Amino acid sequence: MSSLEFETMQKRLERKQALLQVVFLINSQHDLDDILQTSVNAITGQLGYKSIALLLKDEENSERLSIRAETGRYSKHSSDYVSEVFKRSESPSLNGKVSIHPDNSSESDDVQVDIPLHFAEEFLGLARVKTESILSKEEILDLEEIASHLALAISKAKRYETERKHSEKLELIARVGQRITSRLELEELFATTLEELHHHLAYDHVALFLTDPNDPDVLVLKATESLWPRSKDQPYRQSIHEGVIGLAAQKRQPILVEDVSESEAYIAPLSGPAMLSELSVPLLLQERLLGVLDLASTKVFSSEDLRAVQIVADQLAVAVDHALLFADIKKRLVETDLLYRISRKISTALSLKAITLAYLELVAAQGKYNCTVVIYEYDDSGSRKRLNVLGRWRLNEGFIQEHEIYPYFKDEFDAILDQGKPVLMANVLTDVRASKTLKKAQKDRPALAIIPLMVGAARIGLITLNHPKPLDWLEADLNAYQVSASQLATAIFSRQQQEKVLQHEQLLAAIHERQRLARDLHDSVSQLIFSMTLIAQSIAPAMARSVAEGESRIARLLELAQKSRAELRALLTELRPSEDISKTLSDSMLLRKDGLALTLEHHLKRLPDTLKLEFLVTNFRAQSLALEEALFRIAQEAVNNVVKHANAQTLRVKLYADKKACYLNIKDNGAGFSPAEPKENHFGLVIMKERAEALGGSFEISSGKASGTEITVKIPLQKRR
pLDDT level of residue 645 (50, 70, 90 thresholds)? confident
542 burial class (0-12, 13-18, 19+ CB within 10 angstroms)?
Answer: middle
pLDDT, average across residues 336-345: 74
Q: CATH number for 183-330: choose from 3.30.499.10, 3.40.50.880, 3.20.20.70, 3.30.450.40.
A: 3.30.450.40
Per-domain boundaries in the chain: 12-162, 183-330, 585-716
Q: Is the dihedral of CA 118, 119, 123, 127 positive or negative?
A: negative
Average pLDDT, the chain: 79
pLDDT, average across residues 174-178: 64
How many other CB atoms are found less than 10 A from the CB of residue 69? 22
d(CA 368, CA 391): 17
- How many Cα atoms within 13 Å fall on the side-chain side of residue 122? 11
Q: Which fold has domain 12-162?
A: Beta-Lactamase (3.30.450)
* Closest to 68 (Cα-Cα) out of 43, 42, 36, 29: 36
Q: Is residue 85 within 8 Å of 63, Cβ to Cβ?
A: yes
d(CA 536, CA 528): 12
Distances (CA, A) of 669 to 90, 638, 672: 136, 13, 8
Which pLDDT score is estimated for 698? 93
* Closest to 94 (Cα-Cα) out of 122, 52, 129: 122
d(CA 704, CA 672): 5
Arch. (CATH architecture) of 585-716 = 2-Layer Sandwich (3.30)
pLDDT level of residue 682 (50, 70, 90 thresholds)? low
Distances (CA, A) of 230 to 81, 195, 239, 240, 260: 34, 15, 20, 21, 20
**At residue 169, does pLDDT exceed 90?**
no
Helix (H/G/I), strand (E/B), else coil: 292: strand
- How many Cα atoms within 13 Å fall on the side-chain side of residue 197? 33
Domain 183-330 in the same topology as domain 12-162: yes
Which pLDDT score is estimated for 248? 92
**At residue 256, does pLDDT exceed 60?**
yes
Which pLDDT score is estimated for 652? 93
Q: Is residue 331 within 8 Å of 479, Cβ to Cβ?
A: yes
| Residue 717 β-bridge partners | none
Which pLDDT score is estimated for 580? 43
By residue count, the chain amounts to: 721
pLDDT, average across residues 514-542: 74
* Closest to 32 (Cα-Cα) out of 115, 156, 149, 146: 156
Long-range CB contacts for residues 179-188, cutoff 8 Å, separation at least 24? 180/312, 180/315, 180/316, 180/319, 181/315, 181/318, 181/319, 181/322, 183/319, 183/323, 184/322, 184/323, 184/326, 185/323, 185/326, 185/327, 186/222, 186/320, 186/323, 186/324, 186/327, 187/223
Distances (CA, A) of 435 to 432, 465, 689, 694: 8, 17, 65, 60
Q: Is residue 175 within 8 Å of 201, Cβ to Cβ?
A: no
d(CA 269, CA 297): 12
Helices (H) and strands (E) in the chain, counts: 16, 24
Q: Is residue 690 within 8 Å of 682, Cβ to Cβ?
A: no
Q: Is residue 24 within 8 Å of 30, Cβ to Cβ?
A: no
For residue 492, report the phi and psi dihedrals to the nearest 5 degrees. -65, -45
Fill in the amino acid letter for 503. Answer: Q
pLDDT level of residue 662 (50, 70, 90 thresholds)? very high
Query: pLDDT for 40-57, tens place per residue?
Result: 887 777 777 778 888 888
301-58-259 Cα angle (round to 5): 30
How many other CB atoms are found less than 10 A from the CB of residue 402? 8
